[in-house]
Copies of this chain bind each other. A is one copy, B any other.
């Protein structure tokens, strides 16, 4: 940082002498005698003005700066949005304390994207190359616990329908397809929402249009696959009520999954909880339980078991 009275020529000389080790001097930040940020000049401006002009005369005084407590991802988004090369960082008294440059921003984006991806997969912040087997195991263990609890709930629900299963063993045969289809469409929905929020393509105020769109997609896809799986069931077991039960359960499961998958990350984001976490095993587990319950409830009702 230089003071306002420095001439363009002096500024160039100071670059030559003092700042040779500065990594990427795109902008020259100008401070007053208290070290407070008052202006900015680009290296290009410096070159193209008469050499005796002082910085005060050609610097831009409308400097965009971020406070020290701003989240790094926010800073990165600002740099990306305005296609600027650096952002000065100031403390609460507007004193210049640092600079975030565009190469930092690239690192921030790559790291944040990786973190989001791993969180969505319920792999915490594990990076494959840095951790030992035991460390990795410790990081991943708790994320599977949601799934474990969900599995226990699912077996209690199914245990409740044990009587129906003994009468009609192949009722169990459709558990995987209903869970799998629900889980997959739920993952699609939550991923689109989480990534949309992360990149800023999606705003929290769009919540109802997003959720109702996902609901519509879930219903259409549910109808398509409900008919396919229902026909497969009919072909294999030739029992109309079973085929209809499976088809209807699949429609319900996929519609609810799209709803839960899109709604939960948005609600989490509204309460300032990282939506990438919501998209992980938690959503999948919730969908598993709901799917299994719906299926058995619908099947036992329609089949009169």
Q: CA A150 – CA B106 in complex, angstroms?
A: 40
In the complex, how many angstroms separate the beta carbon of A16 from the nearest chain B beta carbon?
Answer: 5
In the complex, how many angstroms separate the beta carbon of A17 from the nearest chain B beta carbon?
Answer: 9
A122 contacts the other chain (Cβ, under 8 Å)? yes
Question: C-beta contact mask, A156-198 vs B, less than 8 Å → 1, else 0?
Answer: 1011001111100111111111111101110110111101100
Which residues does chain B contribute within 8 Å of A154, judged by CB atoms? Answer: 173, 176-177, 180
In the complex, how many angstroms separate the beta carbon of A146 from the nearest chain B beta carbon?
Answer: 9
Task: Please state if B176 and A292 are interface contacts (CB–CB under 8 Å).
Answer: yes
Task: Please state if A141 and B236 are interface contacts (CB–CB under 8 Å).
Answer: no
Which residues does chain B contribute within 8 Å of A172, judged by CB atoms? Answer: 158, 165, 171-172, 175
A21 contacts the other chain (Cβ, under 8 Å)? no
Residues 11 to 67 of chain A near chain B (Cβ within 8 Å): 12, 15-16, 23-26, 43-44, 46-48
Task: Please state if A187 and B122 are interface contacts (CB–CB under 8 Å).
Answer: yes
Checking B85, B109, B174 against A155 with a beta-carbon cut-off of 8 angstroms, the contacting residue is B174
Given A128-B210, A187-B121, the answer on whether A80 and B102 have CB atoms closer than 8 Å is no
Which residues does chain B contribute within 8 Å of A233, judged by CB atoms? Answer: 155
Task: Please state if B16 and A48 are interface contacts (CB–CB under 8 Å).
Answer: yes
Given A83-B103, A106-B106, the answer on whether A191 and B117 have CB atoms closer than 8 Å is yes
Task: Please state if B181 and A179 are interface contacts (CB–CB under 8 Å).
Answer: no
Nearest CB to that of A197 among chain B residues? Answer: B128
Checking B122, B155, B158 against A184 with a beta-carbon cut-off of 8 angstroms, the contacting residue is B122
Stretch at the interface among A88-96, A221-229, A267-275: A221-229
Task: Please state if A133 and B176 are interface contacts (CB–CB under 8 Å).
Answer: no
Task: Please state if B170 and A159 are interface contacts (CB–CB under 8 Å).
Answer: yes
Task: Please state if A140 and B185 are interface contacts (CB–CB under 8 Å).
Answer: yes
A284 contacts the other chain (Cβ, under 8 Å)? yes
Q: CA A165 – CA B172 in complex, angstroms?
A: 8
Q: CA A225 – CA B15 in complex, angstroms?
A: 62
Checking B117, B236, B281 against A156 with a beta-carbon cut-off of 8 angstroms, the contacting residue is B236
Q: CA A117 – CA B265 in complex, angstroms?
A: 15
Task: Please state if B169 and A165 are interface contacts (CB–CB under 8 Å).
Answer: yes
In the complex, how many angstroms separate the beta carbon of A290 from the nearest chain B beta carbon?
Answer: 11
A285 contacts the other chain (Cβ, under 8 Å)? yes
Given A148-B225, A155-B176, A166-B169, 8 more contacts at CB 8 Å? A16-B48, A113-B117, A121-B190, A151-B177, A159-B170, A159-B173, A165-B169, A176-B288
